[in-house]
Amino acid sequence: EIVLTQSPGTLSLSPGERATLSCRASQSIDTIDLAWYQQKRGQAPTLLIYGTSSRATGIPDRFSGSGSETDFTLTISRLEPEDFAVYFCQQYGGSPLYTFGQGTKLETK
């Protein structure tokens, strides 16, 4: 099983600041197989980034993704009030077919 470890567990920042979220895989994965989701309280996750760096439809360009092999990053360039939520990374392939990280909570400082 490919385990995804996200850090930090909680990130406290203010609107306007830059957020950098990390996702580390227990083994190398193809860049096409790494995605990021945002989840707000009481809602289903929403796809933000797929294929490591491609924004999903309607996602603003302040969200960007990067990385390769075992280290991946989600960056939010300037935080807006609606960005404070929980973020998950997810990989495809192996067994089980899909696994998720445990999440990073982005909270207002």
Partner 1 sequence: QVQLQQSGPGLLKPSQTLSLTCAISGDSVSSQSATWNWIRQSPSRGLEWLGRTHFKSKWYSESAISVRGRITIIPDTSKNQFSLQLNSVTPEDTAVYYCARAQVENFDYWGQGTLVTVSS
Calpha distance 31→108 (Å, rounded): 30
Min CB(34)–partner 1 separation in Å: 8
**Largest Cα span, the chain:** 40
Least distance (Å) between residue 62 CB and partner 1:
20
The number of C-alpha atoms within 13 Å of 82 and in the hemisphere containing its C-beta is 4
Interface with partner 1, residue 8, by CB under 8 A: no
Tokens of 43: 């809602």
- Counting residues that bind partner 1 (by CB under 8 A) gives 24
Residue 36's alpha-carbon distances to 53, 80, 84, 109, in angstroms, are: 9, 18, 15, 23
Q: Which of residues 27-86 bind partner 1 (CB under 8 A)?
A: 32-33, 35, 37, 43-47, 50-51, 56
Residues 6+ apart with CB under 8 A from 70: 24, 25, 26, 27, 28, 29
Q: Residue 109 CB, nearest distance to partner 1 (Å)?
A: 24
Stretch that binds partner 1, among 15-23, 58-66, 70-78, 91-99 (CB under 8 A): 91-99
Among 11, 25, 88, 104, indicate the residue that binds partner 1 (CB under 8 A).
Answer: 88
Binding site for partner 1 (CB under 8 A): 32-33, 35, 37, 43-47, 50-51, 56, 88, 90, 92, 95-103
